[in-house]
Amino acid sequence: SHVYEHTSAPVPPQGLRFTDDPLVPGVTVIKAIHLIELRNAVNAWRTAAGLAPIVVWTDQNPTGATIKAIHIIELRNALDPALRAFGRNPSFSSGVAPGQVVRAVHFQELRNLMK
């Protein structure tokens, strides 16, 4: 007799929605809600990939905080292994380093990677 093992492959999150989508460079003002939504989406991808969600972020409550490069760096670093678990090889088009201005493109790029 044969023993069949049922394994279900992980499924990427579906139906993620973002406020002000797409972000328009030079038009859309980046707000705390955009950062919060990205953090939630990254954690949805991490959970789907079998990775622990990130529970401690810089500026836990970003309402009223200035959006900084560290926020983008954290999101990229958290998202990268989750996407790789699904066979995706993310690349980020524009670098961002502490002291650099965060732009709408940095947010939109992360959103596009998770669609």
What pLDDT, in 10s, does the model give residues 36-83?
999 999 999 999 999 999 999 999 999 988 899 999 999 999 999 999
Note if the pTM is more than 0.95.
Answer: no
* Predicted local confidence at residue 51, as pLDDT: 97
For tokens 């998202």, name the residue.
79
Query: Is 110 in contact with 96 (CB distance < 8 Å)?
Result: no
Sign for the CA dihedral angle at 25, 22, 64, 98 comes to negative
